[in-house]
Amino acid sequence: MDFYYYKLDNCQYATGTVVVIDVLRAFTTAAFAFAAGAKSIKIVRDSDEAFLIRDNDSKIRLMGEGNGIKIAGFDYGNSPAEFLNQDLSGMDLVQRTSAGTLGVIRSCGAEILLATSFCCAGTTVHYLKILQQRSISFVITGITPEERGDEDTACADYLSALYENQLIDPTPFLDRVRNSVNARLLAEMPINSGSDLEFCCQLDRFNFIMRVDTQEYPPKLHKLILDKNRNIYCES
């Protein structure tokens, strides 16, 4: 298996099976939203697109951030902790973030597009093995010129290592998340639940995959379930 790594500024060239990673926090938050019952999550470029979608459907709920802070007028921010006691059964959400959602939108060359983080890493790898592709491309959305983004690179490294060896020790990879620049910046944010980092480090908390439907714009995340027999099926 060949693994390729891309960033936000070149992920449009990624082809075949593409996995977009945002550990802190977009695709950890999205996973927690699905666990709370969300039916689907539309991915948009900016808040204007999000508000326009809600203007046409008042049942839509918006989640996301700008510069790490909840966008004014959105229902939720970008914190997995926000969804612990929420009942989103059957709801459609719209998500906008500064990195992860851009990775999904810009990965326009993908034939199969997934979004992930550590909380659904094992299931994602199981699904990748089912697909039996010749190569897998990872989009490391957190990388910046300021040496940020190692938490996403750590997740990609873990996914590739797990694909090759099921006995891989996750501890060094999760330590990289906790010691990353973005983890420190998250801790320094004025509005922070204090638990987000640990939620983002909860390996395999969920037994589903987040696959992106790119047939229409905006692209839409759906939850694919891994059942007790390790079969994959689409819940929505």
pLDDT at residue 141, as a whole number = 96
What is the structure's pLDDT at 218? 97
The CATH number linked to 227 is 3.90.1560.10
User: Which pLDDT score is estimated for 167?
Assistant: 87
Q: Could you read off the pLDDT of 161-216 as tens digits, one per residue?
A: 999 988 899 999 999 999 999 999 888 886 655 689 999 999 999 999 999 999 99
Higher-pLDDT residue of 185, 227: 185
Q: Cα(75)–Cα(79) distance, rounded to whole angstroms?
A: 12
Residue type, 67: N
What stretches of 7-60 adopt beta strand conformation (E)?
Answer: 16-21, 40-43
Could you tell me if 43 and 154 are in contact, meaning their C-beta atoms sit under 8 angstroms apart? no
Q: What pLDDT score was predicted for residue 192?
A: 58
Structural domain containing residue 71? 2-234
Assess contact for 56 and 71: CB atoms under 8 A. no
How many Å apart are CA 119 and CA 66, to the nearest integer? 23
For residue 229, pLDDT over 80 is answered with no
C-alpha closest to that of 204 among 161, 235, 159, 165: 159
Counted domains in the chain: 1
For the full predicted model, state whether its pTM sits above 0.85: yes
Show the tokens assigned to 130.
């089912």
Mean pLDDT of 149-162: 96
Q: Report the DSSP beta bridge partners of residue 224.
A: 209, 234
